[in-house]
Chain A
Amino acid sequence: MIQPTNPLLSRVADSAYWMARYIERAENVARVAAVNFHLMLDLPSDLGNQWQALVQTTGDAKVFRERHGEAMADNVIEFLAFDRDNPNSIASCLFAARENARSIRDTISSEMWEQINGMYLQFTSPRPGGVELKSAVVRGAADLLSEYFRRVRMACHLFHGITDVTMSHNEPWHFLRLGRDLERADKTTRILDVKYFILLPSVSEVGTPFDDIQWSALLKSVSGFEMYRKRFGRVSPDRVVEFMLMDGEFPRAVRYCVGEADASLHSITGTRTGNFSCPSEQRLGLLRSELDYTQTGAILAGGLHEFLDGLQTRMNAIDGCILEDFFTLPLAAAATVRGGRS
């Protein structure tokens, strides 16, 4: 159990959790966008509108349709990267991460703050990158665009690295990890879901070279292609699902992320693994053990989309429990002083 020398403010825990979630979200937008962009260069142009699939991944397809109509290269890039009215654009995520970081600057290290602030300044400014980028898209200049997404991804990695080596692995650090890993698990389920529903409209394409390219692209969007190769060799749909959902060693696999989140939560509460002291711990532990003992075959038989949908719903519920267990202290608690020093 962590014995905090400085007890952690609920507001600070909340901000640490969300700061990490937003960084992770920005990274995932950049990942998926970059991979899809490359994928389209490999595919025949009559294979449907892949930009629409991209929007689908983020879960904001409805907002997009209302505001932009049909998905095209330029409006999708604008929407995903720079649109401050899209709460899940890279710019909005970095802004939100920075606002959270700003409010807990005394808790995170200066190096972490500088990294977040630098990312915000570098990637969200509408000038000069934005103008260049937009015109680059119009011109069909893929290099600048790919470079932009690559830099966002690397900057997020750098943030995690800086966090790991400059911040004590204390209670707020575990809240940060909890937010990051839950977000990462959620995003991996969404990426997988999109492939299943959008990228693969007809059964006739199964097993074609395009299919192989698409599944490989999916693995690449979670940086998992090389690790998958080492584990399974040839690309086959059920094994890709197994790898992205159930792998216990790959850091972006859902099961791995849930396990890490569970470990952080236990570090926060001090409860032994296998036990629980609050609703969030109970639900997260239940999810972890289910993933530990579920076989991929059974999931595919029952419908992957249904399974992924269920996962997302349960993770949202866990998020809600964390909010209640740690971030909002009911006023009634004011009367019962827990752990006071009087």
Chain B
Amino acid sequence: MRFTGYQAEGFYDESFQENGLPRPHNRLMVETIQSLPEGQLVRSKVAAERMMLNMGITFNVYGDSAGAERIFPFDLVPRIVAAEEWTWIERGLKQRIHALNEFIDDIYHDQKILKDGVVPRDVIESAVFFRPQCQGLNPPRRVWCHITGTDLVRDGSGRFFVLEDNLRVPSGVSYVLENREVLKRTFPQLFEGLAIRPVLDYPSRLLETLESVAPAGVDQPRAVVLTPGVYNSAYFEHSFLALQMGLQLVEGRDLTVSDGYVYMRTTRGLKRVDVIYRRVDDDFLDPLVFRPDSLLGVPGIMDAYRAGHVNLANAPGNGVADDKVVYAFVPAMIRYYEGEDAILPNVPTYLCVKDDDRKYVLENLEKLVVKAANESGGYGMLVGPASTKDQREQFAARIQASPRTYIAQPTLALSRVPTLIDDHFEGRHVDLRPYVLYGKDIYVLPGGLTRVALRKGSLVVNSSQGGGSKDTWVLAQTPAPREPAGGGQQ
């Protein structure tokens, strides 16, 4: 299968240079794909899709009872990140997550950063996901964000930026592991030829992280995975991670609180639980503390948590740092807590709550991407260049009515990666979500979920909006430079 006719169309292409030759770290991949027999790649894709359906690697589509499950679309062409790029990303993520954890701990204790005027107090107090109920809590090791899925993007020059921090219940890591399994079967020769850093030890790392943050004095902690249940869109991932870690997958109704401890109901009575990797949102965790109508949670679990009898990963309250207005202050936080400049830059962000910024945003809506500060999944968003006049007017009205709710960013010309479309390759925009674990120390999974906007020209990569995924290969070392293909001998 050939890349003949493949065009970068003026975008930063991660696999090909402007002169049409593969980038050095992509050369072997491109050559291998070109050498496949005609039709082979399409056949591999069909076979992989059938396998995924049979394995039930699906997500649920809400409100669709007949064919309620679909596979998450994926593309077989890998996205490759060079070794030196990754070294820098990894350093940047460690720095950022460390600072964010300091920030959350500070916000729920002394609030020094507010007192010192680095972050305005009203920004925090008006954040939808700020949880006053978490004031004064002391999670083991002072770690709040055990699992983070930071979204990174590259702009037209290929430079990486942080798009958002996901510190609540980031999902998608199961697709990283499944995509890797599929690609190992599809391109075994590439895994022999390239030093691709493994990702399949993620479940072991996660288990280690969970056990490392057990309540004080518990020698052999029992950890469990808490899921909202089989109808949750990410249920496959919850069961997959539980199975891979050898942990019990529990629902809220399996747990009960007695004398300040959390127990699960077993065939031999109640058994104590020490660490809960919860995939249930804060709001639904404990009907006594958060939403009283929640049936997914466990009444009294927050009391047990407050008493230090159980640990929750991630900690409740983290959402305060997911707010997109708070996001704009992360570089300042890094300077404040770490005494360093941020290694990974933020995307420039206009805060509509500031008069000057709002004026600029309203005058330049057709150039900007406007986002709601507390939405995710690609909802509540205006992509200026692709918008109609009506949509812009609606957003202008919303921004004026509720400036705190909106931020705006320049429309980035997101980088592209070749993607199999029907029977040929076309460039599609991508982002990257690496996963970061924080227990005894900070670990960054080498790779992560590459999400790809499968619709032509689309910049929105979310699965709910027509996005798919790709395997992400982080190289342990950059291959030695060679003559261009066909031009010499090894």
Judged by a CB distance under 8 angstroms, whether A113 is at the interface is yes
- Give the chain A neighbours of B250 by CB distance below 8 A: 9
Q: Which of B442-482 contact A (CB under 8 A)?
A: none
Contact of A8 with B266 in the complex, beta carbons under 8 Å: yes
Judged by a CB distance under 8 angstroms, whether B150 is at the interface is no
- Give the chain B neighbours of A339 by CB distance below 8 A: 268-271
Given A11-B254, A105-B249, A334-B258, CB of A340 within 8 Å of CB of B53: no
Minimum distance in angstroms from A207 CB to a CB of chain B: 51
Q: How far apart are the CA atoms of A60 and B104 in the complex, in Å?
A: 60
Contact of B53 with A121 in the complex, beta carbons under 8 Å: yes
Minimum distance in angstroms from B451 CB to a CB of chain A: 25
Minimum distance in angstroms from B241 CB to a CB of chain A: 9
Contact of B253 with A11 in the complex, beta carbons under 8 Å: yes
Given A102-B235, A333-B270, CB of A114 within 8 Å of CB of B263: no
- Give the chain B neighbours of A13 by CB distance below 8 A: 267
Given A114-B54, A117-B56, A341-B272, CB of A326 within 8 Å of CB of B267: yes
Contact of A105 with B254 in the complex, beta carbons under 8 Å: no
Q: How far apart are the CA atoms of A103 and B96 in the complex, in Å?
A: 37
Contact of A106 with B272 in the complex, beta carbons under 8 Å: no
Judged by a CB distance under 8 angstroms, whether A74 is at the interface is no
The residue on A at minimum CB distance from B245 is: A106
Q: How far apart are the CA atoms of A337 and B230 in the complex, in Å?
A: 28
The residue on B at minimum CB distance from A175 is: B267
Contact of B266 with A9 in the complex, beta carbons under 8 Å: yes
- Give the chain B neighbours of A102 by CB distance below 8 A: 56, 230, 235, 239
Judged by a CB distance under 8 angstroms, whether B305 is at the interface is no
Given A99-B230, A105-B239, A117-B55, CB of A335 within 8 Å of CB of B258: yes
Contact of A6 with B251 in the complex, beta carbons under 8 Å: no
Minimum distance in angstroms from B112 CB to a CB of chain A: 37
User: What string of 1s and 0s marks CB contacts (under 8 Å) between A29-59 and chain B?
Assistant: 0000000000000000000000000000000
Q: How far apart are the CA atoms of A340 and B272 in the complex, in Å?
A: 6
With beta carbons under 8 angstroms apart, the residue of B246, B249, B258, B267 that contacts A10 is B267
Minimum distance in angstroms from B350 CB to a CB of chain A: 45
Minimum distance in angstroms from A278 CB to a CB of chain B: 11
Of the candidates B54, B247, B261, B266, the one having the most CB atoms from chain A within 10 angstroms of its own CB is B266
- Give the chain B neighbours of A342 by CB distance below 8 A: 261, 272
Q: Which of B63-88 contact A (CB under 8 A)?
A: none
Contact of A338 with B248 in the complex, beta carbons under 8 Å: no
- Give the chain A neighbours of B269 by CB distance below 8 A: 329, 333, 336-340
Number of residues from B at the complex interface, CB < 8 A:
33
User: What string of 1s and 0s marks CB contacts (under 8 Å) between A123-141 and chain B?
Assistant: 0000000000000000000
User: What string of 1s and 0s marks CB contacts (under 8 Å) between A90-126 and chain B?
Assistant: 0000000001001111110010011001100100000
Contact of B53 with A11 in the complex, beta carbons under 8 Å: no
Majority DSSP secondary structure for residues of B touching A: mixed
Given A103-B230, A106-B243, A340-B270, CB of A121 within 8 Å of CB of B54: yes
Judged by a CB distance under 8 angstroms, whether A69 is at the interface is no
Contact of B54 with A118 in the complex, beta carbons under 8 Å: yes
The residue on A at minimum CB distance from B258 is: A334
Given A102-B235, A114-B55, A337-B258, CB of A10 within 8 Å of CB of B266: yes
The residue on B at minimum CB distance from A325 is: B267
Of the candidates B54, B240, B247, B271, the one having the most CB atoms from chain A within 10 angstroms of its own CB is B271
Q: How far apart are the CA atoms of A99 and B68 in the complex, in Å?
A: 13
Judged by a CB distance under 8 angstroms, whether A302 is at the interface is no
User: What string of 1s and 0s marks CB contacts (under 8 Å) between B259-280 and chain A?
Assistant: 0010111111111100000000
Q: What size tier do the contact residues of chain A reach?
A: 35 or more
Given A117-B54, A338-B269, CB of A106 within 8 Å of CB of B247: yes
Judged by a CB distance under 8 angstroms, whether A183 is at the interface is no
Given A7-B271, A102-B235, CB of A340 within 8 Å of CB of B263: yes
Q: Which of B292-339 contact A (CB under 8 A)?
A: none
Q: How far apart are the CA atoms of A118 and B247 in the complex, in Å?
A: 25
With beta carbons under 8 angstroms apart, the residue of B56, B258, B271 that contacts A114 is B56
Judged by a CB distance under 8 angstroms, whether A171 is at the interface is yes
Judged by a CB distance under 8 angstroms, whether B242 is at the interface is yes
Given A11-B251, A113-B56, A335-B258, CB of A106 within 8 Å of CB of B242: yes
Judged by a CB distance under 8 angstroms, whether B256 is at the interface is yes
Contact of A7 with B267 in the complex, beta carbons under 8 Å: yes
Q: How far apart are the CA atoms of A104 and B225 in the complex, in Å?
A: 12
Q: How far apart are the CA atoms of A9 and B268 in the complex, in Å?
A: 9
Given A114-B54, A118-B54, CB of A7 within 8 Å of CB of B239: no
Q: Which of A195-246 contact B (CB under 8 A)?
A: none
Q: Which of A231-290 contact B (CB under 8 A)?
A: 268
The residue on B at minimum CB distance from A338 is: B269
Contact of B266 with A334 in the complex, beta carbons under 8 Å: no
Q: How far apart are the CA atoms of A205 and B221 in the complex, in Å?
A: 70
- Give the chain A neighbours of B251 by CB distance below 8 A: 11
- Give the chain B neighbours of A117 by CB distance below 8 A: 54-56
- Give the chain B neighbours of A329 by CB distance below 8 A: 265, 269-270
Q: Which of A156-178 contact B (CB under 8 A)?
A: 171
Q: How far apart are the CA atoms of A105 and B250 in the complex, in Å?
A: 11
Minimum distance in angstroms from B463 CB to a CB of chain A: 20
Contact of A337 with B263 in the complex, beta carbons under 8 Å: yes
Given A121-B53, A339-B268, CB of A105 within 8 Å of CB of B243: yes
Minimum distance in angstroms from B115 CB to a CB of chain A: 41
Given A9-B254, A340-B272, CB of A110 within 8 Å of CB of B55: yes
The residue on B at minimum CB distance from A102 is: B230
Minimum distance in angstroms from B152 CB to a CB of chain A: 31
With beta carbons under 8 angstroms apart, the residue of A6, A103, A335 that contacts B248 is A6
Q: How far apart are the CA atoms of A121 and B243 in the complex, in Å?
A: 23
- Give the chain A neighbours of B246 by CB distance below 8 A: 6
Minimum distance in angstroms from A4 CB to a CB of chain B: 8
Given A102-B56, A118-B54, CB of A338 within 8 Å of CB of B268: yes
- Give the chain B neighbours of A106 by CB distance below 8 A: 225, 239, 242-243, 247-249
Chain B residues in contact with chain A, CB under 8 A? 53-56, 225, 229-230, 235, 239-240, 242-243, 246-251, 253-254, 256, 258, 261, 263-272
* Cβ-closest 4 pairs across A and B: A338-B269, A106-B242, A105-B239, A7-B266
21 A-B residue pairs with Cβ-Cβ distance under 8 Å, sorted by A, are: A6-B246, A9-B248, A9-B266, A9-B267, A10-B254, A10-B266, A11-B251, A99-B230, A103-B230, A106-B247, A106-B248, A113-B56, A121-B53, A268-B267, A334-B270, A337-B269, A337-B270, A338-B270, A340-B263, A340-B272, A342-B261
Given contacts A338-B270, A342-B272, 8 further A-B contacts (CB under 8 A): A8-B268, A105-B240, A106-B242, A118-B54, A329-B270, A338-B268, A339-B269, A342-B261
